[in-house]
Amino acid sequence: MEHGGDWAGFESEYGREAIDFSMNVNPLGVPEAVAKAIAGGALRADRYPDPECRRLRAALAAHEGVPEEWIFCGNGAADIIDRIALAFGDGRAEDQCAGRALVTAPTFSEYENALERCDWEVDHLRLDEAEDFRIGRRAVEIIKMWAGEILFLCEPNNPTGLTTDMGMIRDILEHCESSGTIMVVDECFNGFLDDPEGHTVKGYLEEHPNLIVLRAFTKLYGMAGVRLGYCLCSDWKKLESIRKAGQPWNVSYLAEEAGIAALGENGYLEETRELIGRERAWLKEQLADLGIEKIYGEANYILFRCDKGDGSLCHVDAEAGPVLTERLRRQGILIRDCGNYEGLGEGWYRIAVRKHEENERLIESLEEYAHGK
């Protein structure tokens, strides 16, 4: 699979559940209020859902502090990414691309996948490992020299878990506004940061109608199986184009009920950030104790690279592939092999931050492997 989270494949093969570190979902699971809302909504599931998500948009407007007219809801953030790719191609002849788009490397692969399905020409802004894969001044200058219709940024980035300096983001925003480039900022993992409100472009929406902000309930509220995301944009014409780019009724009645219930779970979010902050620091310390030097992450996941060599964590068998990934899988632990990320390669792995007892089990397995047991 291109993405992590293949729990079904594991259960089909081994007949038991795995501890899934390969998907960056809230380890606290579905909030109780959300589960009750889904169960209670089942009795009204005979009706078509509201195609405009009026109640959910009203709740989101209060939650985000923006007008309802700035919100579009979708079947997860992936649905909205697909719609953006469809909506903003310039309609050139069939033998030409839809336009030029810029994505960083490494980053979430669905931007490029969606763009390529819609015949966009995709350029890569390669982030330098020597600069810890961050967007720095060099990258900002490259963006300013680039000419195209749409730019995707992931904040914090996936799989690195790293954020960009807000001054540089503002610089990029100003450039995109003056050049007419649509800037899509994916903030789906923003809620896991230590200071979410200190690192968001939401406050720039009004003065930058070319800005689209992506958010989702998927990871933060443990609702990956529900499929619910949304985007914010102050230009209603752009939101209308996004709406027309896909099917109606894209958000189920049960998903809307779940989203409304989730927005009231403030205590759940506080508990989440406390847990993630504590366990992320612990995991980084344990990985460093194993001799791993390249360790990144500010959100609810950690990217790391192992040194090569006999007995090392990232030893690769020419026929069997990454030994570490397969060994952990046999032990009931799934991690994300990041070898297929553009800009990374063999020996890079991503793990989610989970509850302490699960994190302990992962570290114990890594220690056994590192010591040749």
**Shared-domain flag, residues 234 and 274:** no
Of the three residues 246, 264, 282, the one that is the final residue of a domain is: 264
How many structural domains does the chain have? 2
Q: Judging by DSSP bridges, how do beta strands 229-232 and 211-216 pair with one another? A: antiparallel
Verify that 320 and 345 share a domain, yes or no.
yes
Q: How far does Cα 95 stand from its chain's mean position?
A: 32
Letter for the amino acid at 67? P
Axis crossing angle, helix 32-41 with helix 253-262, rounded to the nearest 10: 150
**Whole-angstrom distance, CA of residue 355 vs CA of residue 200:** 27
* pLDDT tens digit at each of 373 positions of the chain: 667 778 888 888 889 999 999 999 999 999 999 999 999 999 999 999 999 999 999 999 999 999 999 999 999 999 999 999 999 987 554 556 689 999 999 999 999 999 999 999 999 999 999 999 999 999 999 999 999 999 999 999 999 999 999 999 999 999 999 999 999 999 999 999 999 999 999 999 999 999 999 999 999 999 999 999 999 999 999 999 999 999 999 999 999 999 999 999 999 999 999 999 999 999 999 999 998 989 999 999 999 998 554 445 554 444 444 578 888 999 999 999 998 899 998 889 999 999 999 999 999 999 888 777 6
Judgement on whether residues 250 and 173 belong to the same structural domain of the protein:
yes
Q: How far apart are CA 82 and CA 76, in angstroms?
A: 10
- Do 90 and 215 have their domain in common? yes
Contact 265, 31 (CB under 8 A): yes
**Domain ranges, residue 36:** 32-264
- What distances in angstroms separate CA 353 from CA 139, 244, 281, one per listed residue? 29, 37, 10
CA distance 108 to 91: 26
> 37 and 161: one domain?
yes
Is the domain of 54 the same as that of 130? Answer: yes
Instruction: Say which CATH number the domain at 315 has.
Output: 3.90.1150.10
Specify the pTM.
0.94
Residue found under tokens 């931050």: 353
Same domain? For 160 and 208 the reply is: yes
Structural domain includes residue 159? yes
Token pair in block for residue 62: 């209060």
